[in-house]
Amino acid sequence: MTGTPRDRGSASIELAILVPVVLVFFIGVIIAGRFSMARQATEAAAYNAARTASLSGTAATAASRGRDAAAASFAAEGITCRTLTVTVDTRGFSVPVGQPATVTVRLTCEAEFADIALPGMPGSARLTSEFTSPLDTYRSRT
């Protein structure tokens, strides 16, 4: 027999104290990882939307395709947005051919984390991103 009778049960008490602390730590790591992945998905969605819009032939199609590309990018990453706001700045299409022009996409996603939400933890996060993509200098614009 090891230890004294008064040491009996101390391992159980230590375990009862440490297990919740370790679990909270791992849950925090998982939540931080999900938030980081959602931020990266937001950056990727803004990039994809701006690039898709810059390849369009007209300002109207650029705005529409940019919004569609952002939504598709979030869906591909498995991110659910409660609200998704995509603003496509197509003023570059009015710049004369031969001069540099750009398309800028700004997006805001209220990302939902309901699958990992715990009491006291946020169930969603507001993520924003912006990306600017150049238009082809010598391609016609309308």
For the chain, strand residue ranges (E) read 81-89, 102-112, 124-134
Q: How far apart are CA 89 and CA 105, in angstroms?
A: 6
Contact 134, 102 (CB under 8 A): yes
Mention every residue, 6+ apart, whose C-beta is less than 8 A from residue 100.
134, 135, 137
For 43-59, how does the pLDDT look when each residue is reduced to its tens digit (9 = 90+)? 999 999 999 999 998 99
Whole-structure pTM value: 0.80
Nearest to 77 by CA among 117, 26, 118, 41: 41
Pick one of 3.30.310, 3.30.1300, 2.40.128, 3.30.70 as the CATH number of 8-134. Answer: 3.30.1300
- Delimit the domains of the chain by residue range: 8-134
Determine how β-strand 81-89 pairs with β-strand 102-112.
Answer: antiparallel
Give me the phi and psi of 49, to 5 degrees please.
-65, -45
For 88-132, how does the pLDDT look when each residue is reduced to its tens digit (9 = 90+)? 999 999 999 899 999 999 999 998 877 665 666 667 889 999 999
